[in-house]
Structure 1
Amino acid sequence: MITVSHNLSQFIAQLKRQARQEQFAVALALTRTAQAVRDETPAYLDRVLDRPTPFSKRGIFVQRATAQKLEAVVGFKDAQAAYLELQEEGGTRRPKRRSIVLPARIKLNQYGNIPRAELRRLYDRAKNDKRATPALKKRLGISSKVDLFVGDPGEGLPPGIYKRLPDALVPLVVFHEGPVRYRPRMGWRRWTLRLAGDRIAGEWLKARAQAQATAR
């Protein structure tokens, strides 16, 4: 008589341990790849956008993969995605209220924007028919020796904040009442897929070695 015996329960337990190790390694590789995208996105935004703000560059989040859910997610938080989506996909931005504020002849900050607080001060002084204060003049690059006007000047000029000259109105800030159209220019999703494709294999090998080294 020929017989074969084997401890199947031990063999099955070993297979289960290996399966858990593989799942751990895949989840770790996915998470590290998503983290690499997050960490390299600020430098990418510097390359493709004009002076992105620190607020934009720190708005990336990562959801870690787990052994139960082998999926890692990287993306922009809601506040940043609300305006960066137009840079990524293009489209039309419509005023939330009456108009969209667009700079005309005014000094912008280092990120190419009008500081909201300064715009509010400028608007308030123009509304009260006052001149710009010396401090406001220095920050926004306008003369404190001219009167300010806010509203609709007529004669084909858009509503906005203007400085009064003896024979003309010079726009400082224009209130654009129609939609503003954007073309796609960020390319972040395409760049992310390419970076993830370059990183995932290496991260998988490192994660697998780590899983085997810590296996029980």
Structure 2
Amino acid sequence: MFTLSVRSDIRSVSRALSDLARKQLPFATAQAINATAARVKEAEQENMRKVLDAPTPFTVNSVAVKKATRANPVALVYVKPVAAAYLLPYEIGGTNKLNSHALLKPISAKVNQYGNLPRNLVKRLTGKPNVFVGKIQTKAGLVDGVWQRTKKTRGKRAGLKLMVKFEDAHVVKQRLDYRGVGKRVLAATFRAELDRAVAKALASAR
């Protein structure tokens, strides 16, 4: 979590306001903060789509906002805990987080539209009599994964087909720069949102 302050903008606006407008400032400030937080959320989601390889809706929609109020003019743009756990290396570096004992890399198994294995696919595959989990010596070395025994067909011998390969965690190269995105949106957005919110609050107060 990181903090971005807009106190200097609020003080600057406050000095130029009349007494009536200054009374409306707390409400307008909360409105401006929330509008800016919504912009930050959208920017973070769009950045995820650019940086990550076909992120799922679950990942993109993990960015959420806790709104500010007049009494507590602080908005929180955050990533929900489950997604934050596996997205953290894309912010600070390190190896990708594994949800199991190994990274499951689809080889000939069908994947969904996001390039991921459907939930419980490995369990369903290994429930078939011609599929097993194990390590097989290949030309490329020892390969651990889910294998399917194939039948002999015309012009093709019976053998083994790798469905899913088990790999170790690897170093993450992409960077989301969550903090940088938030700072840039705040700098470009908040003051205009505050001016707009003050004008709207004054119009309604007259």
Question: TM-score over 0.5 for the alignment?
Answer: yes
1:158 to 2:161 alignment:
no
Alignment of 1:66-105 (within 5 A): 66-93=69-96, 95=98, 97-105=100-108
| 1:42-191 alignment runs, 5 A limit | 42-93=45-96, 95=98, 97-125=100-128, 130=129, 147-153=130-136, 156-164=141-149, 166=157, 169-176=160-167, 178-191=168-181
Cα shift at 1:95: 4.4
Percent identity over paired residues = 33
Rg (Cα) greater in structure: 1
Contact 1:89–1:183 under 8 Å retained in 2: no
Q: Counterpart in 2 of 1:133?
A: none
Letter matched to residue 71 of structure 2:
Q
- The 3-state SS of whatever aligns with 1:50 is coil
> Structure 2: which 5+ runs fail to align?
1-17, 151-156
CA shift, 1:205, in A, is: 0.7
TM normalised by structure 1 equals 0.71
The RMSD of aligned alpha carbons is: 2.6
Distance in 1, matches of 2:82 and 2:58, equals 9
Large movers: runs of 4+ above 6 Å: none
TM-score w.r.t. length of structure 2: 0.74
Corresponding residue SS for 1:159:
strand
> What SS is found at the alignment partner of 1:180?
coil
The equivalent of 1:199 in structure 2 is 189
* Unaligned runs of at least 5 residues, structure 1: 1-13, 131-146
Deviations 1:10-41 (A, max 9, x none): xxxx95x6544112222211111001222344
CA distance, structure 1, for counterparts of residue 97 and residue 91 of structure 2: 17
**Matching residue of 1:209:** 199
Secondary structure of 1:196 counterpart: helix
User: How many residues were matched structurally?
Assistant: 181
